[in-house]
Structure 1
Amino acid sequence: MLTLFHAPRSRSTRIVTLLRELDAIDKVAIKIVDITRGDGSGRKDPKNPHPEGKVPLLDHNGVVTWESIAIIQYLTDLFPEKKMAPVAGDPQRGRYLSWLAWYAGVVEPVLIMQAAGISHPFVDFTFRSPAELAARLETALKDNPYLMGEDTQLSICCCIHPLPGTLQRRRRATWSRPGLSAAASDHRCNGPPTMMPAPWLRPDYWHWSLDRAATSVGDCSRSLLP
């Protein structure tokens, strides 16, 4: 049995969106839990098995996987028929894993630092500057619609203001994807009607997304803060 521990308006929304893109939303039980948030609201939920009280966390027959990138890789491998990722043995697998690792090891730290107003040469040297980050994606997507090409449904799309032309076009394509469109109206992503819609589910907000055009792998820089 697959169970996703998820909090509305959090980074686990990307996993709900991925499940929709994989046509696996009905194959995974989604358990809503509370989390502590950047504005001081929320709490660590005792029903959440994550040792740090974070989301997402995926439980597969009692074995847990945490961290978004690990869960994304696990689910795309578990449902290979959708061709969301190159399978093991495919030479393109290395590029796919490299982009995933680049997101977790470079993109998130850079955007978090930017959201926190932290600017230091050590940060730019160790990770990248926001401008370098955007330029890398602009170059990668200049001649190709997706980072992994047409055959594999994977790309990382960065929305940083002001957006370079290629990334601006990529964002518009992102919002046409059924997975993200469905997530935008899913109460499991946005919470009950009394809650404001998740900001990264609005086209006018910065976000990161992963898939052929929009399985959400990331969110805006502000949403990366717990």
Structure 2
Amino acid sequence: MLNRTLRRHPTGAFLSYPVAALSTWGVLYGALAVAGVSASPAMALAYVAGRLTARLSFPLGVAAAVPLAKLAPILTRIKVSALLVTPRNSFLGTAPREDASVESAAAVQKVERWMRKLEGPIDTYGAALLIGRRVVGLSKVAAFYGAISYGVDVEGMLASWGLAAEVGETAGLLAVATAANTLAFPVHVAGAVAAAPHMSALLRRIQAAGSIRAFVSRPEARTQARTAS
């Protein structure tokens, strides 16, 4: 059922996934704030360092997904590319506009090729890759936190690489909420799958109305769009 929903509503799933993730993050952050939980600056800096090294997450995530896929082959049956890669043939597609410059069109086509390449490993390992990336992300934060706790100048190291790590007052709590939200990815997937058909229906009504502005500002446009869909 999960794969069928993702195939039928790829654009709806693609948009619903970050909404689900942001929703659970907001709940976690609010709960931590209300509970008075505090986090050390080291945690905040570790999280920022982990984000600044995000380019390593995908290749390391693939490496982590290989043994995980062997241990639990059922994870590879869950095809999650619809959640992570812009769907083909949708209004979110990356086709360049007719009036786009040559440089802009080339950049768009490069992004399109990159996204299509991602589909291979994503669908090969399925949910195992999703889990692997999160394990890698948490491991990086834990490693940076350990290094900072032992006196390693992680901030200076990042600066020497040309990466600026600015940590605000609330960054520690944000880091804790984000790390906790990483573990809630099954909820994100389930929420995206449940919301995908409804999101797709909404998108069809917006397209039938002609634009988001027309859909929002004119009640008759919403009525006509609902009838058309």
TM-score bracket for the superposition, by shorter chain length: under 0.3
Q: Normalising by structure 1, what TM-score?
A: 0.26
Q: Report which of the two has the higher share of helix.
A: 2
TM-score (norm: length of structure 2): 0.26
Q: Which structure would you say has the larger Rg?
A: 2
